[in-house]
């Protein structure tokens, strides 16, 4: 047998051994990281505590930084960088004093605000801006609904155009009728998304508002890839505590069905026992998310 042949055979054997070793190690490796992670809608004065609790990301309100001075905003960016936690999402897009609907709606004021707000969102690393803003989009008494829809569609297109410059998607948040008087359900918001008709103008859902409006999960299936973000809270808007206080499991299973790969932010009322409650909330939600990855047997 020639030496070159022996050498080639030995090389193939070593490659096979390496493949077997890699295959064996991958079989015993930890499961891949979940594509759905749990973050928190975070007050800017509570960032360190939010990280300490174990949340995977911050969701900071746009209003909280859009009107800061340059010095204050630089300090916020520095703190976020030092904490090492990403801000992929920002909620609370437009403050209530900037009217989007009605006779007081002023396009120059709107445009000036969204230009600064989205530029700063980009600087924080934001990829999705949540457009809830119930006060800003609320119809004044007696104002024609069709005219309000026209104004909101126009705003959506202008916001989407500005957001596109920064690689940002605007995600509309349905808010229950106790907080505003338009787009109260995800189904209504999805129709609005279709009317705006821009690739980076999408939907998000808040499970708390879905519960308030008695809305089922079928709208999530309808939304499909147009769903870009999710909020969650207990039915009383506190931090989720137990798996049976609401149908969190079905929410997560439905998100899996559409191939959702994004964040779930806890948006809840202030919690006096935050340091104790928050880690338990995270653990409970992560357990439910893990369970939702297991395919359910077909009956």
Chain segment 227-283, per-residue pLDDT in tens = 999 999 999 999 999 999 999 999 999 999 999 999 999 999 999 999 999 999 999
pLDDT for 294 equals: 72
In a domain, 69, yes or no: yes
Give me 267's structure tokens.
Answer: 């948006």
The average pLDDT across 119-136 equals: 99
The confidence band for 299, taking pLDDT boundaries of 50, 70 and 90, is low
Judge whether 204 and 230 are in contact, CB under 8 Å: yes
Reported as a single tens digit per residue, the pLDDT across 181-213 is 999 999 999 999 999 999 999 999 999 999 999
pLDDT for 35 equals: 80
The confidence band for 295, taking pLDDT boundaries of 50, 70 and 90, is low
Higher-confidence residue of 48 and 3: namely 48
In a domain, 11, yes or no: no
Higher-confidence residue of 298 and 257: namely 257
Higher-confidence residue of 293 and 51: namely 51
pLDDT for 92 equals: 98
State how far the Cα of 57 lies from the Cα of 51, in Å rounded to an integer: 8
Instruction: Flag whether pLDDT at 9 surpasses 60.
Output: no
pLDDT for 18 equals: 39
In a domain, 171, yes or no: yes
The confidence band for 19, taking pLDDT boundaries of 50, 70 and 90, is very low
% residues pLDDT > 90 (the chain): 86
The average pLDDT across 87-92 equals: 99
In a domain, 57, yes or no: yes
In a domain, 204, yes or no: yes
Instruction: Flag whether pLDDT at 5 surpasses 90.
Output: no
In a domain, 84, yes or no: yes
Where residue 150 sits, what CATH number does that domain have? 3.20.20.150
Computed over every residue of the chain, the mean pLDDT equals: 91
Q: Are strands 201-206 and 227-232 parallel, antiparallel or unpaired?
A: parallel
The confidence band for 32, taking pLDDT boundaries of 50, 70 and 90, is low
Give the least confident one: 35-44, 227-236, 287-296.
287-296
pLDDT for 24 equals: 41
Higher-confidence residue of 116 and 298: namely 116
* Containing structural domain, residue 137: 33-292
Model-wide pTM > 0.85: yes
The confidence band for 170, taking pLDDT boundaries of 50, 70 and 90, is very high
User: How many domains is the chain partitioned into structurally?
Assistant: 1
pLDDT for 27 equals: 39
In a domain, 5, yes or no: no
The average pLDDT across 158-172 equals: 99
């Amino acid at each position: 047998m020639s030496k070159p042949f022996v050498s080639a055979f030995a090389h193939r054997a070593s490659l096979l051994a390496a493949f077997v070793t890699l295959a064996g190690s991958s079989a015993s490796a930890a499961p891949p990281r979940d594509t759905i992670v749990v973050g928190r809608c975070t007050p800017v004065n509570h960032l360190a505590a939010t990280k300490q609790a174990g949340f995977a990301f911050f969701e900071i309100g746009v209003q909280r930084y859009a009107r800061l001075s340059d010095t204050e905003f630089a300090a916020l960016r520095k703190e976020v960088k030092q904490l090492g936690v990403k801000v992929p999402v920002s909620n609370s897009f437009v403050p209530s004093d900037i009217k989007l609907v009605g006779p007081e709606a002023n396009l120059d004021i709107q445009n000036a605000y969204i230009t600064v707000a989205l530029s700063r969102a980009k600087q924080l690393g934001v990829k999705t801006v949540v457009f809830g803003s119930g006060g800003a989009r609320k119809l004044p008494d007696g104002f024609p609904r069709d005219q309000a829809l026209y104004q909101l569609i126009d705003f959506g297109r202008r916001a989407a155009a500005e957001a596109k410059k920064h690689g940002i998607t605007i995600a509309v948040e349905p808010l229950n009728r106790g907080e505003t008087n338009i787009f109260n359900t995800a189904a209504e918001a999805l129709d609005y998304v279709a009317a705006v008709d821009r690739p980076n103008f999408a939907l998000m859902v808040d499970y708390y508002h879905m519960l308030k409006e008695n809305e089922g999960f079928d709208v999530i299936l309808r939304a499909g890839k147009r769903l870009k973000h999710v909020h969650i809270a207990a039915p009383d808007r506190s931090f989720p505590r137990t798996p049976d206080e609401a149908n969190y499991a079905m929410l997560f299973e439905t998100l899996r069905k559409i191939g959702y790969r994004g964040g779930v932010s806890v948006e809840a009322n202030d919690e006096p026992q935050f340091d104790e409650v928050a880690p338990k909330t995270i653990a409970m939600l992560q357990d439910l998310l893990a369970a939702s990855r297991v395919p359910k047997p077909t009956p």
